[in-house]
Structure 1
């Protein structure tokens, strides 16, 4: 089939590459416009735009799917649209443009975790299972009938970045199988049941670690916001990014240290520990404001205090 692909971030690239290498033809790629990145705010093409150009595919850049964009897509006479994390709404006119409509690869077990940050929010909620869903794109948010769905396990230390990278690759086979089934007329769609849950987009404030919560909740939030928008804590009025955080194994005896007030940071046996409402967590790699990432032990010793307070 002739396929138009829509996507923007790195997690969408494996699907684009898999479709390009299949028996189907990717006739055009839609992605968001170049965005300013870094301290110098240099306009930078999206990862999907870079991949599409490397594959020699026509690229349509748009932050909004206007009538002009719909006409541009229609000129390629697509039979199917495939979308992965494009980052914008697809209006009815464009939904109806491909002969077979659009299918969307979503990183959750719909109807659970509809919305922009399904992996991140499920990790923050402490869930231990997630997966992928391929569904027919409709105007309502992640509400279309499901074509394929499966659970994909992840480790109990995986961050959102780890899980997204894993699902992006694992989901390519599901996408190819789904496209093949639509092409040969064997695809079966099943309507979603139940309202599910909503996964709102994360903001910078979501990265704040609240040490007054139990260790499991703090660690769950760290996993959910890493690498974006990033975990942080405030120490003596200075913001410190938390790049790596680890559980403390109770069997090792570390979790049995005397309990101080939540947020207290101490150096114990060569490790930087932060007290929570329950057991401590270990700071491994941090990045103080205006500095490069460093080992937490080096950062702590540089403070020249016996203990610090994180808020």
Structure 2
């Protein structure tokens, strides 16, 4: 088939590369416009745009896919199908109607669970043991289209959202190509999603990522892992924001929620249950470092507490 791939962030690159290496003809790529990045806020192309240009594939960067000029350019490419991974914009019906096999999305959950922008983060936060990826035909309703295929992936006890998403991106790339193969040869038919089991996964905000030390240790751990690497879990000390890396669940004497206990080579923090051991910490304006090094640098007083 002639395909036009749509995607934007790094997590979409494995699927782009898999499609480029498949038996399908990659005739174009759609991605978000160049965006300011870095200290100088220089306009920078998306990871998908960079890789597409390296592959020598034409790249379309509409501000919004409803633009008539974009839709005309897309129609001129005569795609049979438009596979999508984390493109980042809603596709209007007029654009959905252009390829004869529609737009096929790779979504990082086992639908109908965790429809929305942050399925991997919510799966970790909720304590799910298994998640996966699903291919489905895009319809107007959010992540509700009929599904083609699914893969599953175990969630490990130490997985951050970044860790898990990386594995799903690699495995999901193969699922997406297999879905295109099945659509092409007619062996695969989309099936409507079940009405039961729907859960939503809205984007996680910076406010969501603030650790609540009054929660149990397990919930603190899940929040931090779900918010890593972005937007990044955080707390405050004396009114200053401190970013937190992974923590470790430990058995130990109870500490008050947020209370810090500094040892020779560790820093423990109290929760509603048992303490957690801090991993890496990044204070405002400082480099990320081991918690013990951070505690020596700030010279934590007796009774110091995260707020």
Does the 8 Å CA contact 1:206/1:229 hold for their aligned counterparts? no
Does the 8 Å CA contact 1:244/1:286 hold for their aligned counterparts? no
Q: Which residue does 1:251 correspond to in 2?
A: none
The offset of 1:307, in angstroms, is 4.2
Report how many residues are paired: 304
Q: Which residue does 1:219 correspond to in 2?
A: 221
Q: For the residues of structure 1 that align with 2:153 and 2:123, how far apart are their CA atoms?
A: 13
Q: For the residues of structure 2 that align with 1:188 and 1:77, how far apart are their CA atoms?
A: 22
Per-residue CA shift, 1:87-128, capped at 9, x if unaligned?
Answer: 011111111111211110000011111010001112112222
Q: Does 1:77 align with 2:78?
A: yes
Q: For the residues of structure 1 that align with 2:246 and 2:293, how far apart are their CA atoms?
A: 14
Aligned match for 1:263, one of 258, 264, 267: 258
Normalising to structure 2: TM-score of the pair? 0.96
Q: For the residues of structure 1 that align with 2:63 and 2:85, how far apart are their CA atoms?
A: 15
Per-residue CA shift, 1:27-81, capped at 9, x if unaligned?
Answer: 0000001111223222111110111011111000123102221111111110111
The offset of 1:202, in angstroms, is 1.3
Task: Give the SS at the match of 2:279.
Answer: strand
Task: Give the SS at the match of 1:88.
Answer: coil
Q: Which residue does 1:187 correspond to in 2?
A: 188
Normalising to structure 1: TM-score of the pair? 0.95
Does the 8 Å CA contact 2:18/2:177 hold for their aligned counterparts? yes
Q: For the residues of structure 2 that align with 1:55 and 1:62, how far apart are their CA atoms?
A: 20
Q: Does 1:207 align with 2:209?
A: yes
Per-residue CA shift, 1:249-275, capped at 9, x if unaligned?
Answer: xxxxxx122x22110011135211111
- Give the aligned CA root-mean-square deviation in angstroms: 1.1
Q: For the residues of structure 2 that align with 1:86 and 1:293, how far apart are their CA atoms?
A: 31
Does the 8 Å CA contact 2:110/2:133 hold for their aligned counterparts? yes
Q: Which residue does 1:288 correspond to in 2?
A: 283
Q: Which residue does 1:162 correspond to in 2?
A: 163
Q: Which residue does 1:50 correspond to in 2?
A: 50
The offset of 1:172, in angstroms, is 1.4
Name which of structure 1's ranges 36-45 and 156-165 shifts more when overlaid on structure 2.
Answer: 36-45
Name which of structure 1's ranges 297-306 and 11-20 shifts more when overlaid on structure 2.
Answer: 297-306
Q: For the residues of structure 2 that align with 1:159 and 1:36, how far apart are their CA atoms?
A: 26
Q: Which residue does 1:252 correspond to in 2?
A: none
Q: For the residues of structure 2 that align with 1:160 and 1:62, how far apart are their CA atoms?
A: 29
Q: Which residue does 1:240 correspond to in 2?
A: 242
Does the 8 Å CA contact 1:5/1:29 hold for their aligned counterparts? yes
Q: Which residue does 1:306 correspond to in 2?
A: 302
